[in-house]
Amino acid sequence: MLRIATIGTSWITRQFATDAGIVGGIALACAYSRDAARAAEFATAIGAASSSDDLPGMLASPDIDAVYVASPNSAHFGQALAAVEAGKHVLVEKPAALTAADFQVVSDAARAHGVVALEAMRTAYDPGLALVGSMLGELGVLRRASLRYCQRSSRYDQVLAGERVNIFDPALGGGALNDIGYYCVSAMVALFGEPNQVVARWTTVPGGADGAGTALASYPGLVVDLGWSKITASSLASEIEGERGFLTIDRVHSPRALRLTRLDGTTQTHEVPGPEFTLAFGIQRFVDLCRDGGDATADHARTLGALRVLEAIRTSARDGDGS
């Protein structure tokens, strides 16, 4: 049994607890909150054996093997690093850090301490994305792709009402790019590798975070546009175009329905079984790595590449809006 402690008491940690139960091999050992009463209440709610409001104390405990970090984005780096330096495996929510340099530090520390650090990027471990990757060869030479994730957040209403909301707070690493835009970035890097160049533009919301944006990534012979938004919605699918056909993907962050259209007029559809939203595939990868002492080099390379693209998008978009 991998004895895991959780950081964060929002719905995503509840989802983690549910999906960890589905994966199996995990014991919820402790729930941490900055507030002791909330920690105790949350531990009861998710069935954790204990609770804590003392993070260094919890990380020093011999009763935990691993930590799941689901705090605001700006806290990921410090908490993940503290966990690995305490000799604990860490599964850290996306984005694992705000910069590639920070994640490199976590990666190096994990290697030095003989523990696993993994970004909980569910798209990267989703069998739907693996199927997309396996079908690219059918498309001929790849030339264009549009990867999109646009979903209006109910919390945007709070922003419009003048409230401060973590997920839209730049001081906490909030904003649409770091949130749902990152699924498009991660999928792009997983499918095509890192682009040579990125240009981007975004629109901001009150408080300064980006609410929606577009990026154009170029590769030798291939261009990819990324579209993301937490302030509008869209029904457009993602699509990858090659010289012999195109692949339509219902949701790039969680592909469940794929349609291959060959330019000879034939089509092929694929349904990917499984719920639209699950952390289980990433949790399974984490458990396997922890149990088998597996090699996370490729996982880290993908995370580092995606974080470099995230930084390039931010730089280009900020240049564009003059901020």
Task: Confirm or reject binding of residue 38 to ligand NAP (CB under 6 A).
Answer: yes
Partners of 91 in beta bridges: 68, 118
Report helix, strand or coil for 294.
Answer: coil
Among residue numbers 46 through 85, which ones bind ligand NAP (CB under 6 A)?
70-73, 75
Contact between 94 and ligand NAP per CB under 6 A: yes
Q: Which stretch binds ligand NAP (CB under 6 A): 7-15, 21-29, 103-111, 267-275?
A: 7-15
Q: Give the C-alpha separation, 183 to 156, whole Å.
A: 19
In the range 95-134, which residues lie near ligand NAP by CB under 6 A? 120, 122
**In this structure, are residues 277 and 292 in contact, taking their beta carbons and an 8 Å threshold?**
no
With contact defined as beta carbons under 8 Å apart, do 29 and 62 qualify?
Answer: no
Task: Please say which residue, 123 or 242, places its beta carbon nearer to ligand NAP.
Answer: 123
Residue 234, classified by CB atoms within 10 Å of its CB into exposed (0-12), middle (13-18) or buried (19+), is middle
Q: Does 33 bind ligand NAP (CB under 6 A)?
A: yes
> Does residue number 153 form part of the binding site for ligand NAP (CB under 6 A)?
no
- The C-alpha atoms of residue 224 and residue 189 are separated, in whole angstroms, by 11
Closer CB to ligand NAP, 247 or 287, in the complex: 287
Q: Which is nearer to ligand NAP, 8 or 242 (CB)?
A: 8
Which residue in the set 179, 210, 241, 299 belongs to the binding site for ligand NAP (CB under 6 A)? 179
Q: Which is nearer to ligand NAP, 35 or 163 (CB)?
A: 35
Q: Choose the stretch contacting ligand NAP; rule: CB under 6 A; options: 8-16, 209-217, 288-296, 312-320.
A: 8-16
Chosen residue from 3, 12, 136, 270 binding ligand NAP by CB under 6 A: 12
> If residue 19 lies in a helix (H) or strand (E), which one and from where to where?
helix 11-23
172 binds ligand NAP (CB under 6 A): yes
Which is it for strands 245-249 and 89-93: parallel, antiparallel or unpaired?
A: unpaired
Contacts of 29 (CB under 8 A, 6+ apart): 3, 4, 5, 48, 49, 50, 63, 64, 65
The residue ranges that bind ligand NAP (CB under 6 A) are 8-10, 12, 33-35, 38, 70-73, 75, 93-94, 120, 122, 166-167, 172, 179, 279
